[in-house]
């Protein structure tokens, strides 16, 4: 295997995982970030995101002299990289379009500094046409641009990076694309070598499909509620069909996180710009917005006994605030979206999440008081609302919880708990799509 000198720009979920995993595969990696404190902490081996195995890989990489951290992309280029990965944010911009300003500013920063024959790889999720735009901005005939979208999931980022379902690499210059694909050769994954627009579109098409699957199952769960069918049996019956599969068939309070909301919006904008109205994705987004409101309606009915009852000053305990279990990421969390609607309806909210501390600060967390103990969160609550699928909620002492709440009602928006256990403990259990 060729050992390559690699620069990774951005040390978030994707960048730090990419850097640490490529170092573990034997490459010589320097990672850059604009956050000076983060660079200092990473240099000392301190990883401040919750990702199983990541801190160990970072420590191993540093100890082996294969992984280092610097402030700013320009300093990473001093390392004379043969390949430079862009792993910076591409957030939702005005009107739902992907905001590429950070990608563009990094390209501008390194444009004149990149060594001859370097390959710039876009791992950030970017709209079709970004590789071409990057080539124009770079204006360097000796530097190739390649798209290599990332598919890792937060909470299992290292595992997913090292055990990918597939590697997708696209670029105008075949040799540059092959050089990037070769970095992953040891992983033995199926590799799709293509042009840049196709590689860029794979990422959006895949994420939109996943969002569509979730909106679909949430809509089917709503139908189950109305028709008296059981969503667990319906999805089990669907999932044995290999064309459908069991994954992504669990109903919930709506999809969220740092990727699906921005990527579905960007896809709609991308299609609009190409004069194609992608109604399927618009409906997917609308169904998701409605799903959050539907959770509030469930809580309202459970607590007040009326469809239009008031939640004003009603204390609710929210179990789970992160966007999914296994991560401490709160970005675009459906739990926080539901919390915001409950707060808007006047409820007083105390939340508990295994990944958060009472001192955790986040702009979307302002409406929730965070407790560091589920029993304390539940004290005098008029309902417990399960919003994130943390498995440890199943093994809480539900009898003790029943003693400390004001009303033993649990609205389980993830169908996480065993209803029989909750009922035995004295709770009225309300799930999604369950008769």
Ligand X SMILES: NC(=O)c1ccc[n+]([C@@H]2O[C@H](COP(=O)([O-])OP(=O)(O)OC[C@H]3O[C@@H](n4cnc5c(N)ncnc54)[C@H](O)[C@@H]3O)[C@@H](O)[C@H]2O)c1
Catalytic residues: 259
Alpha-carbon distance values, 104 to 12, 145, 172, 432 (Å): 18, 13, 19, 44
Residue 104 CA to its chain's centroid (Å): 23
Q: How far is the CB of 331 from ligand X (least distance, A)?
A: 8
Establish if 34 lies at the interface with ligand X (CB under 6 A). yes
Establish if 137 lies at the interface with ligand X (CB under 6 A). no
Binding to ligand X (CB under 6 A) within 301-320 occurs at none
N-to-C CA span, the chain = 57
State which of residues 9, 92, 119, 211 lies at the interface with ligand X (CB under 6 A). 9
State which of residues 33, 200, 222, 353 lies at the interface with ligand X (CB under 6 A). 33
Please say which residue, 1 or 205, places its beta carbon nearer to ligand X. Answer: 205
Establish if 200 lies at the interface with ligand X (CB under 6 A). no
Residue 305 CA to its chain's centroid (Å): 35
Establish if 323 lies at the interface with ligand X (CB under 6 A). no
Establish if 152 lies at the interface with ligand X (CB under 6 A). yes
Establish if 35 lies at the interface with ligand X (CB under 6 A). yes
Establish if 124 lies at the interface with ligand X (CB under 6 A). yes
Query: Which string of b and e fits 237-258 if b means at least 16 CB within 10 Å?
Result: ebeeeeeeeeebbbbbbbbbbb
Cα 274 to Cα 63: distance, rounded to the nearest angstrom: 49
Give Dmax (Cα) for the chain. 71
Establish if 183 lies at the interface with ligand X (CB under 6 A). no
State which of residues 28, 154, 200, 389 lies at the interface with ligand X (CB under 6 A). 154
State which of residues 47, 118, 249, 259 lies at the interface with ligand X (CB under 6 A). 259
Please say which residue, 98 or 317, places its beta carbon nearer to ligand X. Answer: 98
State which of residues 4, 13, 107, 118 lies at the interface with ligand X (CB under 6 A). 13
Contact positions vs ligand X (CB under 6 A): 9-15, 32-35, 38, 73, 87-90, 102, 105-106, 124-125, 150, 152, 154, 258-259
């Amino acid at each position: 295997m060729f050992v390559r000198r690699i620069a990774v720009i951005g040390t978030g979920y994707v960048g730090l995982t990419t850097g640490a995993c490529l170092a573990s595969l034997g490459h010589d990696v320097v990672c850059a970030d604009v956050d000076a404190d983060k660079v200092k902490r990473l240099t000392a081996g301190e990883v401040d995101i919750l990702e199983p195995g990541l801190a160990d890989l970072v420590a191993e990489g540093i100890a082996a002299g294969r992984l280092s951290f610097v402030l700013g992309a320009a300093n990473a280029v001093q390392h004379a990289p043969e390949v430079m990965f862009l792993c910076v944010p591409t957030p939702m911009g005005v009107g739902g379009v992907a905001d590429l300003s950070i990608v563009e500013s990094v390209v501008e920063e390194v444009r004149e500094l990149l060594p001859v024959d370097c390959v710039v790889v876009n791992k950030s999720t970017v709209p079709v046409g970004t590789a071409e735009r990057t080539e124009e901005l770079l204006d360097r005939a000796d530097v190739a641009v390649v798209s290599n979208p990332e598919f890792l999931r937060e909470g299992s980022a290292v595992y997913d990076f090292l055990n990918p379902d597939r590697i997708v690499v696209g670029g105008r210059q075949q040799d540059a694309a092959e050089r990037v694909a070769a970095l992953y050769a040891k992983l033995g994954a199926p590799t799709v070598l293509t042009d840049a627009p196709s590689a860029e579109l794979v990422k959006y098409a895949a994420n939109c499909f996943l969002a569509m699957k979730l909106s679909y199952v949430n809509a089917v769960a709503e139908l189950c509620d109305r028709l008296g069918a059981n969503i667990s049996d319906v999805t089990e019956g669907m999932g044995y069909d290999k064309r459908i599969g069991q994954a992504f068939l669990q109903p919930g309070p709506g999809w969220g996180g740092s990727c699906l909301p921005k990527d579905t919006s960007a896809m709609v904008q991308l299609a609009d710009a190409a004069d194609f109205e992608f109604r399927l994705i618009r409906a997917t987004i609308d169904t998701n917005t409605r799903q959050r409101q539907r959770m509030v309606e469930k809580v309202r009915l459970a607590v007040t006994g009326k469809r239009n009852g008031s939640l004003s000053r009603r204390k609710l305990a929210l179990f789970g605030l992160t966007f999914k279990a296994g991560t401490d990421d709160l970005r675009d969390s459906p739990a926080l979206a539901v919390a915001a609607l409950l707060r808007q309806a006047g409820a007083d909210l105390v939340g508990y999440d295994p990944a958060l501390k009472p001192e955790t600060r986040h702009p979307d967390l302002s409406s929730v008081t965070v407790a560091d103990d589920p029993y304390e969160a539940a004290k005098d609550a008029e309902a417990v609302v399960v919003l994130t699928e943390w498995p440890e909620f199943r093994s809480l002492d539900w009898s003790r919880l029943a003693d400390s709440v004001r009303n033993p009602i649990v609205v389980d928006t993830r169908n996480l708990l065993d209803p029989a256990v909750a009922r035995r403990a004295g709770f009225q259990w309300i799930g999604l799509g369950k008769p």
